[in-house]
Amino acid sequence: MLKNKHKYFVLKPKRTSMNNEFNHITVLKKETIQNIFPSEKLLNLLKTNKTYKLNIVDATLGGGGHAEYLIHLFVNDPIFNNFELNFIGFDQDINALNFTEKKFKDVQLKYKNIHLHFENENFKNLAQIWQTKFPGEKIHGLYADFGVSSPQLDIGKRGFSLIHDGPIDMRMNPNDNLTAKNILEEYSELELTRIFFEYGEEPKSRKLAKAIVQDRKIEKIPLHSTIQLAEYIKRVLAYPNSRVHPATRAFQALRIEVNKELESINYLLQEIPELIHTHGKVGFISFHSLEDRLIKHAMRNWQKGKKAHEKQNEKKEFNIPLHLQLHLEENHNKGFGKEIPRGGITASDEECQMNNRSRSARLRCFEFSRETGG
């Protein structure tokens, strides 16, 4: 087994145009990795079983900031000298995946005990891919950053931005068919009301949906750029003295609908108990209340010893849209583990000053301590 001789590990990717497109500041980097890293109890168990391999999953690879810190800890802590790291990173954005794969190109050459795998997939397919590639194995640590990356927000041509002009697109995976423009042109008034209300928590969702449908008939819609759309929404909603752009909530709703973001999170959370090792850990970063409610709801039920089931008659909780709730059955008298720490972790004042987008981030972690089968 290769010994780690280097005191410090820092990736220095070559300057390329792709680097410029992924000038992304990772949120809650140290807090996330330190809280999902294997516990001493798990490491001792693996040593006892003579299984010197750690399976770690990054469900939202992005620019690889979390992964870089993970590898840094792995190669510099002597406790892992006899272990192999089996790392798999998922991202549905092929631009992000290509950038990070290139960034880590030299890692496997330099460290023979690190094995990197990259998947151009939505994390909703994570369980299926994991079980196909690593049948019978469990994951020891898994994390996901559910936010939109800075490059996606700041590059106008991706169509996410209120201030950088571009097409009304909003696809994280450019190969997907549905765009925000399709939604504005094709969804009914009822469907538009639903997504603006549920995914944007927009108080004037009915007013906005009605205006869009009426203006489609007189050809004021379609619009052709994000700036046009932002100004249109601002004019329709007519919020006086708004501290944020009046179109912010509607843009969020469109983005969530285009990428089926909450459905994907829901799929992942349902699969987690079956994927994670008895003493494994998971961590999820959310950026708005809809994401956080789903995560909190799932962890509270894991703590009670519940997991996903096919029942469809559970009552609505935590203001989560009914079609997104985890439907659960009782499996144990005791829970599967506990949230660590309860209530989650937010960015420090120092990080918020360095990166304004970290202000809305919340990290929730969960440590499993018993089997979920039975």
Taking domain 17-150+261-368, whether its CATH number is 3.40.190.10 is answered by no
Rounded to an integer, what distance in angstroms lies between the CA atom of residue 293 and that of residue 6? 42
Tokens of residue 121, six digits:
């997939």
pLDDT, residue 325, reads 57
| pTM as predicted | 0.86
What residues are designated binding site for S-adenosyl-L-methionine? Answer: 64-66, 91, 123, 145, 152
Residue 34 contacts by C-beta under 8 Å, 6 or more apart in sequence?
73
Q: Do the domains 151-259 and 17-150+261-368 match in fold?
A: no
Beta bridge partners of 308: 328
pLDDT, residue 371, reads 75
Which amino acid would we find at residue 51?
T
pLDDT, residue 242, reads 86
Rounded to an integer, what distance in angstroms lies between the CA atom of residue 238 and that of residue 49? 64
CATH-assigned architecture of domain 151-259: Orthogonal Bundle (1.10)
Ordered mean pLDDT values, 10 residues apiece, the chain (374 residues)? 40 42 79 95 93 96 95 94 95 91 91 96 96 96 86 68 89 92 96 97 97 91 88 94 91 95 95 95 96 95 74 42 51 77 95 92 95 64
What residues are designated binding site? Answer: 64-66, 91, 123, 145, 152
pLDDT, residue 162, reads 86
Q: Where are the domains of the chain?
A: 17-150+261-368, 151-259
Q: How many CA atoms within 13 Å lie on the side-chain side of 334?
A: 7
Rounded to an integer, what distance in angstroms lies between the CA atom of residue 17 and that of residue 307? 45
Rounded to an integer, what distance in angstroms lies between the CA atom of residue 102 and that of residue 105? 5
Rounded to an integer, what distance in angstroms lies between the CA atom of residue 234 and that of residue 114? 50
pLDDT, residue 372, reads 75
Number of residues assigned to the chain = 374
pLDDT, residue 161, reads 83
Cα dihedral 244→231→157→183 (10° resolution):
100
